Structure 1
């Protein structure tokens, strides 16, 4: 099995930061974010961003906002099976209201906004 390559994205602009930066990626995870020109490991494969802006993606993972934050309401899926899960959801679905769904979806959106992409949560 081949190890994932080390990547370095260089010449990157970051939100609310002056100058150009370099972002290390090791085993598929973001690592150090350092100003351009700092020493780097020569084993990195380099991608030149040519001054492009690094920002989180404009996507949301697939979620069902009507089901968010409903685990255990009104009952837990004790067996863990799909069939019992469908039964438990039928019980919960009978309790849904427009305001209930909207309130839980809003809480999820606020929580997601606090979970920012590592590229945007660099030290200040």
Structure 2
């Protein structure tokens, strides 16, 4: 059986941080997704987590203008709590982003630096792309 192509690409804070620092590899991955019509999605909360003290505000606004920024809802918070309970408390840092990844069109690729916590939170419901 052939795998379906991704319909959504979700960034965690490390992936967004790399993009903000103009990492060429990350920029190329994001542009490739955009070129084939895959939305690149980030949680509004992830923006706060990814910003470093020296982040240029104009650059931040430009990068975000090219992404789909999703708000965090009460439903996301409750989903995150349930995911954490199911995972035995593992993955606290990624729970809100995991809730977002589970509500956007699947199949979903999540770009993250922490494969282990993601597999505990989401199992095989998302595809992990390491940064």
Please say whether Structure 1 and Structure 2 have the same fold, judged by a TM-score greater than 0.5: no
The structure that is helix-richer by fraction is 2
Which band: TM-score by shorter chain? under 0.3
When the two structures are superposed, what TM-score results if normalisation uses the length of structure 2? 0.23
Bigger radius of gyration: 1
The structure, 1 or 2, with the larger RCO (C-alpha pairs under 8 Å, 6+ apart) is: 2
